[in-house]
Chains A and B, each alone.
Chain A
């Protein structure tokens, strides 16, 4: 059974810092690894999707990496801004749209 873990559960950093969010999964037989953003009381917004054959994906200030052999993915946020404050969730796809989610990291960027 696939389990996805995100550590830390919460993170608070000053504006302008670069930061890394961590995601680990127990079963390396995944099709892809996805990162989402969720604002309070809202739905999820897809940020990045890394196929199992890929090592990383980039979008603007965001960079996500995938290491299947170690069961880890990281989301790197460069030059953080207060608008980046949200909960970030990772999810591993193990079958036809059978996404297994982590519990998320609640990120606060302090001005």
Chain B
């Protein structure tokens, strides 16, 4: 158990479906992140939240909609996805933003397949 829990672990959805990914951290951290890991590509930062406020949107298409109701929970709402959105979606947390010695703690990810 890493302290960052993601559900579901696997998700298969059609292009017209609406689904949500959930992330919960039990570490008392203030910052949470969504990353996308596609085959043959480096991890890509999608969104950053600090104290529930979004501080980074890395030019992510609007079919991905994040929600952070509190510092412990982070959601990624999915709607009208494309097959190229199939990837491993990773949630991470850190104590704060900005410190140069901050370590990130990752969840195990949700493996998403869009048909």
Q: A residues near B, CB below 8 A?
A: 4, 31-32, 34, 36, 41-46, 49, 51-52, 89, 91, 93, 96-104
Contact = CB atoms under 8 A, between A and B. Distances in A.
Interface residues of B, number: 30
A97 B105 contact: no
Interface of B: 2, 4, 6, 31, 33, 40-43, 45, 48, 55-56, 88, 90, 92, 94, 97-98, 100-109, 111
Given A31-B100, A32-B100, A32-B101, A99 B108 contact: no
A4 B4 CA distance: 26
24 contacts: A34-B103, A34-B104, A41-B108, A41-B109, A42-B108, A43-B90, A43-B92, A43-B107, A43-B108, A43-B109, A44-B92, A51-B100, A51-B101, A89-B42, A96-B55, A97-B31, A97-B48, A97-B56, A97-B98, A99-B104, A101-B42, A102-B42, A103-B40, A103-B42
B42 A43 contact: no
Nearest to B104: A46
Contacts of B104: 34, 44, 46, 97, 99
Contact of B103 (A4, A41, A49): A49
Contacts of B42: 4, 89, 100-104
A97 B101 contact: no
